[in-house]
A = this chain, B = another copy of it.
Amino acid sequence: MVAKRPRTGGKDKVRKKNERCDREMVSQSFVEKITIIQNDSLNGAVELTKRTLKAIKKEIERATNLKEELPELIQMLSLVHPEMASIAMIAKQLKQYVEHEEDEEELKTRLQKELEQLGQEITTREQQTVEMLCTELKKYKSIMTISSSTTIRTALAMIPQKEREKEIYICESRPLLEGQTLATQLAKMGYKVKLFVDAAAGHYLREVEAVVVGADTIFRDGSILNKIGSLALALLARKYGRPFIVAASKNKLSTEAAENYGFYIQEKPAEEVYPEKVPNLTVLNIYFDFIPKELITTLISK
């Protein structure tokens, strides 16, 4: 999910961990960069993964004792965006080198090369997924989506100007309303955009040919996590016989089994939903819905 405003009340786990630990090896500059990435709800997984890779590369360049520093760096990565498989993938890649019997300089060179290659793979997978999605999208005169998927926006941007007669129905996407931002962007591209509250999706779904969403996580069995509200969209699409299409590259592929999806669904700041404090009133705020594979018609994923 790509959100409009930065998270305000999120726990600064990375920084806290850093303050607790006496034998710090990683640099302050690295901690700062990672903390910014952690608190970023504005950018999607691909962008944040690229930034993470860049920060790690810089940190490896700086390191004087990589073998001792690496386990700590890996541990920090696990706290950045636990829901983003592409960042977990970097940690996994780095772990292979912790026990390597190599000298410092050799290890450094090899890691830099590996990370460079990983970055390229991530970019390639994303590009290929966007191209596949673009071909799929050309089939429909009208689609509905929720939240703001970079994959979907990029695929729509690839469609030639003269073919942009498509109607795009977008849920506003509470709590952070990033659907409003996507709606404005697509309207500027020349698409005929319709924006409405999330709860109205059931009414307007009858008017579209397909529902197309991104995914924040793809589980091994093909189930996904995506912006809350996606589960209702999938059920409504099923009810009206419309395809429910998910587009997300294998960068989002989780190593977790689908039944452990609860791990990714964390409580977010209550103020994003309702700012007042009232006794007996608990304000709940989560970002993700679990959509079981049987509700997904097509998974477009390279």
Contacts and interface: CB of A to CB of B under 8 A. Distances in A.
A279 interface: yes
Interface string A127-139: 0000000000000
Interface stretch (A24-32, A42-50, A192-200): A192-200
Interface stretch (A64-72, A151-159, A183-191): A183-191
Chain A binding site: helix, strand, loop or mixed by DSSP? mixed
Contacts of A195: 273-274, 281-284
Interface string A34-61: 0000000000000000000000000000
13 contacts: A146-B199, A173-B199, A174-B198, A180-B274, A195-B274, A196-B283, A196-B286, A197-B285, A201-B232, A202-B228, A202-B235, A203-B231, A232-B236
Interface of A: 146, 171-175, 180, 183-184, 187-188, 190-204, 227-229, 231-232, 235-236, 239, 265, 273-274, 276, 278-286, 289-290
Given A187-B279, A202-B232, A203-B231, 18 more contacts: A172-B174, A172-B273, A172-B274, A174-B198, A174-B199, A183-B278, A184-B276, A190-B280, A195-B281, A195-B282, A195-B283, A197-B198, A199-B232, A201-B232, A202-B231, A202-B235, A203-B286, A232-B232
